[in-house]
Amino acid sequence: MSLTVLLVEDDRELRGTLRESLTVEGYAVLAAASLADAHALLSNARVDIVLLDLGLPDGDGETLLAALRRGRGMPVIVISARETDDPKIRLLDAGADDFLVKPFSLGELLARMRVALRHRGTPTQAAITHYTQGALQVDLRAHRVRLADEDVHLTPTEFKLLARLVRSAGQVVTHRQLLADVWGAEFIEHTHYLRLYMGQLRAKLEADPADPRRLLTEPGVGYRLVEGEE
Ligand code: CA
């Protein structure tokens, strides 16, 4: 099961970029743009690690840090544009596991997340980022899909759907799970989206879309991407 990150960040662009990158790395991402959103998500979902911006529209991220320290023990990494040493030391004293000053690289963030999770004894698995099966090659980090050494162009939604299946290759992923992870929790009833996009993916990735050998239907349950090769 993938680890869940609560990303608390009011900058829409950064939130979107981080959400996408962390999803590709195999994390389930819950995004909050305010302290109120973050509190609501924390009371309703299991969260394994928190990425916390400080300057939020309804207050300072520090207050959430204090609340988290009184309650559950998941690691918190502060991501902030404030770079003076003083708040950094204070926040680490207040119980933040780490502090990253914006702008930071994705590689550094991922490494710090792994360290923070490891310190709490949370097992971290290297995310699946490559998939090969016969003539099909998928590189999730590079957003690249190749079939018989030709680049295949996928729309962003087709790519997200394929990426979700790659991360669970060999396993059935239910309709609801796919709809929630690719389109969002509010779309779990929209199974026609799934049929449409699965049809498009099969048209691009299967020799005979009517007789799929890679993107398999599990009737009444969901879909399964056949297991990749080592
Ligand atoms: Ca901010």
Give me ligand 1 centre to Cα 94, in Å.
Answer: 19
Give me ligand 1 centre to Cα 64, in Å.
Answer: 14
Domain end residue (candidates: 119, 149, 171): 119
Give me ligand 1 centre to Cα 124, in Å.
Answer: 28
Q: Same domain for 140 and 193?
A: yes
Give me ligand 1 centre to Cα 84, in Å.
Answer: 16
Output the tens digit of pLDDT for each of the chain's 230 residues: 579 999 999 999 999 999 988 988 888 899 999 999 999 999 988 899 999 999 999 999 999 988 887 766 789 999 988 766 677 778 887 788 899 988 899 989 998 998 888 887 777 666 678 899 999 999 988 899 999 999 999 999 999 999 989 988 888 888 988 898 888 878 889 999 999 999 999 999 999 999 999 999 988 889 999 998 87
Quote the domain boundaries for residue 59: 4-119
Distances (CA, A) of 151 to 143, 148, 160, 226: 11, 8, 17, 20
Q: Same domain for 94 and 16?
A: yes
Burial (CB < 10 A; 0-12, 13-18, 19+), residue 131, is: buried
Give me ligand 1 centre to Cα 34, in Å.
Answer: 9
Q: Same domain for 107 and 145?
A: no
Give me ligand 1 centre to Cα 52, in Å.
Answer: 9
Give me ligand 1 centre to Cα 127, in Å.
Answer: 28
Give the helix/strand (H/E) hosting 43. Answer: helix 35-44
Give me ligand 1 centre to Cα 2, in Å.
Answer: 27
Q: Is the Cβ–Cβ distance between 112 and 119 less than 8 Å?
A: no
| Phi, psi at 208, each rounded to 5° | -125, 100
Q: Is residue 230 part of a domain?
A: no
Would you state the pLDDT for residue 71?
66
Give me ligand 1 centre to Cα 56, in Å.
Answer: 5
Give me ligand 1 centre to Cα 74, in Å.
Answer: 22
CATH number at residue 28: 3.40.50.2300
Question: In whole angstroms, what is the distance from residue 115 CA to residue 83 CA?
Answer: 21
Would you state the pLDDT for residue 177?
84
Q: Same domain for 111 and 154?
A: no
Q: Is residue 125 part of a domain?
A: no
Give the helix/strand (H/E) hosting 198. Answer: helix 191-205
Give me ligand 1 centre to Cα 129, in Å.
Answer: 30
Provide the number of structural domains found in the chain. 2
Give me ligand 1 centre to Cα 59, in Å.
Answer: 10
Would you state the pLDDT for residue 215?
97
Give me ligand 1 centre to Cα 50, in Å.
Answer: 15
Would you state the pLDDT for residue 12?
94
Say what the pTM is: 0.64
Would you state the pLDDT for residue 56?
95
* 166 contact partners, CB below 8 Å, separation of at least 6: 128, 131, 138, 140, 225, 228
Q: Same domain for 8 and 115?
A: yes
State how beta strands 215-218 and 222-225 pair.
Answer: antiparallel
CATH number at residue 163: 1.10.10.10
Q: Same domain for 110 and 135?
A: no
Q: Same domain for 138 and 158?
A: yes
